[in-house]
């Protein structure tokens, strides 16, 4: 590697470690990584256009890049989240509340930085390629202030009927040293162990047994955890212009998060939670229609319902919430690339995903309202010469809402109540690639 790419990689690695907050996309899984992959709407399992997208979605596809590369991208991500709730008079019993209550509150979550870094080296005169990727791959976060009118955000009993202010922040980074080998002129395989680092903070922490005063404790003093997993892939590059890709990303198994909290008297209390990252299976097909036009489509299955932390929602015998209750989902990502000039390429992409949160589970998901289903992306890459590429992309997740009734540990769903979350997302991505 030349001195310039080494310096470029060092600068990108420093930036990667400075921040890694992501927000809900396909559930809490990001629909794309990096500027080029984002401009394709995340489609890339069978169409490797840059090292970041190839390493993340299909380790075997780095053999299809045709060059070595260092890449860095930075996303400014802005969610637009609101939480509404309604409680009819006497819904919780005579005089509770004495009059109907309703309100809508916007989250104070600001713009989050999402960095991505990758390096791929094609070993000369060898069927082997190696790579290393580091990217934010998921997360969620809200910051709802307490309210006197929005019933879900009124203080916890006996001072109110809600949870009070709700805060959450989940950040997840993944690092993937990767090796790939060509078996024939058209078929390659790849493998990477995956190393993950995540931080989590939630207040109030409803996954714990309430304190003696009936209030849920706080886990605002967040904790970090490490996780392990692996990814394997197959990539076929057909002589007629058709490409196929298949990859399997295992569940990312994390150690439990552990939080310092306090009981009803202010004494120390230790809380814990298991929150893993789901298994993802990706199948991709791509076609180069002409030397200037390429299209790609990826279908993925994200297995939330068998992932620790996302299992069936409800209350246990102590009043603790058992999980987010997300369903496993299917997603479809499509993208197209058009070469406009010898130096300029333009792309656009669209992703649809099923919503993992059903009506009965909405009450339990105020800290993680992952309800966006339609995503549109576009972007362009300019070749600056000498192997340098600059890419700018924009992503928009269209506003979507999900609603359901309140739930009670003893009485189940409460008639005359409603909780509704609404989420839209915006992201602007800048990326730099150095090919050599």
Query: What CATH number does residue 319 fall under?
Result: 2.40.160.60
Q: How far is CA 89 from CA 24, 155, 159, 287, 411, in A?
A: 34, 18, 17, 60, 17
Domain that holds residue 287: 3-435
pLDDT at position 12: 40
pLDDT of residue 7: 41
Whether the pTM exceeds 0.75: the reply is yes
pLDDT at 9: 40
How many domains does the chain contain in total? 1
Q: How far is CA 285 from CA 117, 124, 201, 235, 241, in A?
A: 25, 28, 39, 10, 11
Three-state helix/strand/coil letters over 299-347: EEEEECCCCCCCCCCCECCCCCECCCCCCCEEEEEEEEEEECCCCEEEE
Question: Are 156 and 38 contacting, i.e. CB atoms less than 8 angstroms apart?
Answer: no
| Strand 166-182 relative to strand 187-203, pairing | antiparallel
Point out the residues of the chain with pLDDT beneath 70.
1-24
């Amino acid at each position: 590697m030349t001195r310039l790419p080494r310096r470029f990689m060092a600068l990108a690695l420093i930036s990667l470690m400075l921040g890694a907050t992501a927000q809900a996309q396909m559930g809490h899984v990001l629909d794309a990584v990096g500027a080029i992959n984002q401009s394709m709407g995340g489609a890339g399992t069978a169409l490797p256009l840059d090292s970041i997208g190839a390493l993340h979605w299909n380790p075997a596809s780095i053999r299809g890049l045709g060059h070595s590369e260092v890449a860095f991208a930075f996303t400014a991500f802005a969610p637009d989240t609101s939480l509404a709730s309604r409680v009819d008079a006497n819904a919780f019993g005579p005089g509770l509340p004495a009059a109907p209550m309703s309100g809508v509150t916007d989250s104070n979550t600001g713009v989050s930085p999402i960095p991505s870094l990758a390096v791929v080296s094609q070993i000369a005169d060898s069927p082997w390629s190696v790579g290393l990727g580091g990217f934010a791959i998921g997360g969620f976060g809200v910051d709802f202030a307490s309210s006197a009118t929005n019933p879900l955000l009124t203080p916890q009993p006996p001072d109110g009927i809600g949870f009070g202010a709700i805060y959450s922040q989940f950040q997840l980074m993944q690092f993937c040293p990767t090796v790939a080998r060509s078996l024939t002129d058209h078929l390659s395989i790849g493998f990477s162990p995956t190393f993950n680092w995540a931080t989590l903070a939630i207040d109030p922490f409803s996954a714990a047994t309430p304190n003696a005063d009936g209030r849920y404790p706080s886990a605002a003093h967040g904790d970090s955890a490490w996780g392990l997993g692996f990814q394997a892939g197959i990539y076929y590059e057909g002589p007629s212009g058709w490409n196929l890709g298949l990859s399997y990303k295992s569940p990312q198994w994390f150690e439990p998060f552990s939080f310092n909290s306090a009981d009803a008297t202010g004494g120390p209390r230790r809380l814990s939670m298991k929150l893993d990252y789901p298994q993802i299976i990706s199948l991709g097909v791509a076609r180069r229609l002409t030397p200037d036009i390429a299209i790609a489509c990826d279908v993925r299955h994200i297995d939330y319902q068998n992932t620790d932390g996302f299992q069936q929602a409800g209350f246990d015998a102590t009043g603790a919430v058992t999980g987010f209750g997300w369903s496993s989902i299917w997603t479809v990502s499509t993208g197209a690339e058009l070469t406009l000039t010898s130096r300029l390429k333009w792309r656009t992409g669209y992703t649809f995903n099923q919503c993992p949160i059903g009506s009965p589970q909405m009450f339990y998901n105020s800290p993680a309202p992952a309800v966006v289903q339609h995503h549109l992306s576009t972007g362009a890459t300019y070749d600056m010469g000498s192997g340098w590429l600059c890419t700018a992309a924009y992503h928009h997740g269209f506003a979507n809402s999900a609603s359901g009734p309140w739930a009670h540990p003893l009485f189940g769903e409460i008639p005359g109540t409603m909780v509704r979350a609404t989420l839209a997302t915006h992201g602007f991505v800048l990326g730099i690639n150095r090919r050599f």
